[in-house]
Amino acid sequence: MSDVIVVGGGAAGWAAALAAVQGGASVVLFEKLAESGGSSALSGGCLALAGTDLQAAQGVADGPDLLFKDLCEVGQHVNDAALVRTYCDAQLTTYDWLKEAGVGFSPVIETASGQSVPRVHTVDPADLVRALKAMAEQGGRVVYRSNAAVKNLLSAPDGRVTGVQLESGQELLANKSVIIASGGFAKNPEMLNQYAPQYAEAVFVAGAGSQGDGLCMATSIGADLRDMNYVKGTFGKHPTDETNDHSLQAVYKGAIAVNQDGQRFVDESISYKLLGDAVMAQPWHTGYQIMDQGIFDTGDDRVRILDFGRRLEEGLFYVGDTLEELATQIEIDADTLVATIARYNGYVEAGNDPDFGREHLVHQHGVLRKIETPPFYAYPSTAVVFGTYCGLRIDPHAHVLRADGSRIDGLFAAGEVTGGFHGAAYMTGSALGKAVVFGKIAGEAAAAS
Ligand SMILES: Cc1cc2nc3c(=O)[nH]c(=O)nc-3n(C[C@H](O)[C@H](O)[C@H](O)COP(=O)(O)OP(=O)(O)OC[C@H]3O[C@@H](n4cnc5c(N)ncnc54)[C@H](O)[C@@H]3O)c2cc1C
Given 360, 385, 410, which residue is the final one in a domain?
A: 385
Same domain, 221 and 268: no
The reply to whether 300 and 223 lie within a common domain is no
In terms of domains, do 200 and 93 share one? yes
Residue 430 is which amino acid? S
Index of the ligand 1 atom closest to the CA of residue 205: 53
Q: Range of 195's domain?
A: 2-231+389-447
Q: Are residues 147 and 271 in the same domain?
A: no
Can you give the pLDDT of all 449 residues of the chain as single tens digits? 899 999 999 999 999 999 999 999 999 999 999 999 999 999 989 999 999 999 999 999 999 999 999 999 999 999 999 999 999 999 999 999 999 999 999 989 876 777 889 999 999 999 999 999 999 999 899 999 999 999 999 999 999 999 999 999 999 999 999 999 999 999 999 999 999 998 988 999 999 999 999 999 999 999 999 999 999 899 999 998 766 677 899 999 999 999 999 999 999 998 888 899 999 999 999 999 999 999 999 998 877 788 999 999 999 999 999 999 999 999 999 999 999 999 999 999 999 999 999 999 987 789 999 999 999 999 999 999 999 999 999 999 999 999 999 999 999 999 999 999 999 988 889 999 999 999 999 999 999 99
Q: Which of 343, 358, 385 is the last residue in one of the domains? A: 385
Q: Which of 29, 98, 108, 182 to mutate to test the pocket of ligand 1 (most atoms within 8 A of CB)?
A: 182
- Identify whether residues 377 and 395 lie together within a single domain: no
- Are residues 163 and 38 part of one domain? yes
CATH of the domain at 365: 3.90.700.10
Report the distance separating Cα 87 and Cα 434, nearest Å: 7
Q: How far apart are CA 75 and CA 49, in angstroms?
A: 17
AA identity, residue 276? G
Domain count across the chain: 2
E strand segments, 2-123: 2-7, 27-30, 46-48, 106-109, 120-122
Closest of 149, 269, 258 to residue 214, by C-alpha = 149
Helix (H) or strand (E) holding 53: helix 53-57
Which residue puts its alpha carbon closest to atom 49 of ligand 1? 38
End-to-end alpha-carbon separation of the chain, Å? 16
User: How far is residue 87's CA from residue 136's CA, in Å, rounded to a whole number?
Assistant: 22
Which of 110, 127, 130 lies closest to 118, judged by CA? 110
Assess whether the C-beta atom of 416 lies below 6 angstroms from ligand 1: yes
Please indicate whether residue 114, judged by its CB atom, sits closer than 6 Å to ligand 1. Answer: no
